[in-house]
Amino acid sequence: MKKVLVLALVFAFGLGLGGLAETVLETTITATPEALDPAVVFGENDWKVLVNLYDYLVYPSFENASPMSAVAESWELAPDNKTWTFHLREGIKFHDGTALTAEDVKFSMDRMITIGEGYAHFYRGRVKETRVVDPSTVAFELSDPFGPFLVTLYRLGIVNKDLVMANLKEEGMYGEYGDYGKGFLLDQDAGSGPYRIEEFKIRQSVEIAKNPDYWQGISAESPDRVIMTQLREAATTKMLMGSGEIDLAHGRQEMTTLLSLDAIDGVEVALIPEMSLDFFMIHTKKPPTDDVHVRKAMAWATDYEGMLAIYTDCPRAYSPVPSQVFGYSGDLEGYEKDLDKAMEELKQSKYYGQLDQYPIDVSYIQGNGDTPKLCMLFAVNMAEIGLTVNIVEAPWVLFCNKEESIETSPHVTNLFANASYPDAGAILELKYASWTVGGWNQNEWLQDPTFDAAIQEALITADPEERAAKYAELQRYIVEDLCPSIFTFLSVLKPAYRADRFSWPAGDGNPHAIAEFNFNYMYFKMLS
């Protein structure tokens, strides 16, 4: 009798404990991913979700994004600097229960290269062949050494080959591979990460659920489900945060909104530096900014302190490379506001005395945080040295239209550009190489053969120290000789969150070096 009673008590007690409600984290994002396919996406919003769904050969460390073992336990580079061999960990399972093997890694790389979208440009023309040495060893053969290769692997999500192959659509652009699973991976996941996809409504919301069988083990304190809702509207965000309906707001709020959010009881703001800078990108092929003296004058006339007052808590930038990224050159003095030096430069320009005949268009994308304020300040600054500025606020589609050709691109655009992998080459190539013109990332239209040759050389340098030296020279060349951009500050994400609901590394002052990886929810701890 007693035994039954004890059992019943234990049973009831167990039920009571086991019957805990599941924890749900409500967050907002500026936009949902375009797709859940790692071979296709390339934006911050995509990666915030994908870091949860997929695993990578190597994983960036918190402090400085240096490669740590993840799917790959160890790796080595052959003496010719062209062959990388990775030894995979045993026992990693995809969400559908099947094992992750070298076949899947090869499939992921081949697929990314063939499709050619997203970050494929890291590997296209560089990765000659991927070989499965044995089920737990894979080798990449590069056509030339590629210095940053290891860190680009942070963006190669490993997809489940069997699952994707089973879900191909016959009609597609990829011959026998049909649509290569693009349709399937639009809103389904074929990953092995700490979370799996529950529901994806494009442009509306994403819902992910914890993967209890994650190979690294996942804590019970991590949220069981995370719902990310697309919400840019400031008034609604403030209301929802105040009523407790959302726990974590996206990090790109306008200053005034952020202050209101911060004022709510229990809400704090985390600071997450991004590998991204705010640039004033100056067209180098349109008068009057085609004259380097005019550009330098502009750099000397900009009120950097004023801009830092608009975007508080952001460190000043003196180089196109973000300061936390490998290859950053800290030796550059850069520019400060100095009207005398500005006028000196201006006087050396061939346009001096006729500046009123050459108005400058400064353009930015509408609805992009506090950038209008920056541009307004910039316009005031330029007026101080006699340059006439027309401000052009354009919706994104019109902005992109203009960027497509050299004639229609405005004189100056103000945008954030970021490094897609933690190596100076990423941003230097993106911003200044001739093969990246025609998009919003490069309004400079630099098209400089010296630079092109130098950046390509730097990228194939395998030895880190040598590469860093080459990057340093490139940065000096850009900043001191060419001055095609004005570097203002490093971008910092400032997500407001309910500190009384959960804690996370970023909130504890320990943000991950790569911004999107802060949103790996396995590191979150729900409170109470």
Partner 1 sequence: MEKAGTTPKQANPRWQRLKRRWYKFASNPLSLLGLAVVIALVVAAAFAYQIAPYPKHAGLFLDFANANQPPSLKHLAGTDVYGRDILSRMLVGLRYSLAVGLLVLALGVPSGVLMGLVAGYHRNTWVDTVVMRFTDLFMAIPPLILALVVAAMFTPGYFFVAIGIATAWWPWYARLTYSLVTSLSNEMYVKYAELEGAKPRRIMFKEILPNAVSPMFTKMSLDMGVIIIIASSMSFVGLGVQPPKPSLGSMVSGGIQYLPEQWWISVFPAAMVALIVLGFNLLGDGLRDVFAIEEI
Partner 2 sequence: MALFIFKRIGYGILVLFALSFVIFSFIRIIPGDPVRMSLGPTVPDEVVARMRSELHFDRPIPVQYYHWIKGVLLRGDFGRSLFTHRPVSQDIAEFLPRSIELAIFSAFLILSFGVLFGTISALFRDTWLDNLLRLFAYLGVVTPPYAFAILFMLLFAFYWKIFPLGGMPTLPEELRVTGMTAFDALIRGQFDVFGVTLRHLVLPAVSLSLGSIAYQARIHRSSMIDNISKDYIAFARVVGVSGATVVFKHLMRPSFIPTLTIFGLQVAALLGNAFLIEVMFRYPGFSQYSLQVIMTKDPYGIVAVSLVFGVIFALANILIDVGVAWLDPRVRLKASE
**For partner 1, the closer CB: 12 or 383:** 383
Decide: is 441 part of the binding site for partner 2 (CB under 8 A): yes
Closest distance to partner 1 from the beta carbon of 260 (Å): 6
Whether 159 contacts 118, CB under 8 Å? no
Residues 400-429 that bind partner 2 (CB under 8 A): 400-401, 404
Strand partners, 230: 29
Cα separation, 269 vs 507, whole angstroms: 7
Among partner 2, partner 1, none, the one that 202 touches (CB under a kind-dependent 5 to 8 A) is: partner 2
Among partner 1, partner 2, none, the one that 376 touches (CB under a kind-dependent 5 to 8 A) is: partner 1
Decide: is 236 part of the binding site for partner 2 (CB under 8 A): yes
Going by C-alpha positions, the residue among 211, 189, 192 that lies closest to residue 59 is 192
Among partner 2, partner 1, none, the one that 393 touches (CB under a kind-dependent 5 to 8 A) is: partner 1
Residue written as tokens 């050969």?
Answer: 57
Q: What is the largest CA-CA distance in the chain?
A: 104
Rounded to 5°, the CA angle 343-477-469 comes to 145
Number of residues that bind partner 2 (CB under 8 A): 41
Whether 273 contacts 325, CB under 8 Å? no
Decide: is 243 part of the binding site for partner 2 (CB under 8 A): yes
Decide: is 242 part of the binding site for partner 2 (CB under 8 A): yes
Q: What is the DSSP string of 285-346?
A: SSTTTTSHHHHHHHHHH--HHHHHHHSTT--B--SSS-TTSBT--TT-------HHHHHHHH
Among partner 1, partner 2, none, the one that 353 touches (CB under a kind-dependent 5 to 8 A) is: none
**For partner 2, the closer CB: 202 or 377:** 202
Decide: is 440 part of the binding site for partner 2 (CB under 8 A): yes
Whether 366 contacts 397, CB under 8 Å? no
Cα separation, 399 vs 47, whole angstroms: 24
Decide: is 178 part of the binding site for partner 2 (CB under 8 A): no
Closest distance to partner 2 from the beta carbon of 229 (Å): 8
Residue written as tokens 């052009």?
Answer: 392
Decide: is 186 part of the binding site for partner 2 (CB under 8 A): yes
Rounded to 5°, the CA angle 107-45-503 comes to 110
**For partner 2, the closer CB: 277 or 472:** 277
Closest distance to partner 1 from the beta carbon of 382 (Å): 10
**For partner 1, the closer CB: 180 or 399:** 399
What residues make contact with partner 2 under the rule CB under 8 A?
Answer: 34-35, 42, 115-121, 124, 173, 186, 201-204, 229, 231, 233, 235-236, 239-240, 242-243, 245, 395-398, 400-401, 404, 430, 436, 438-442
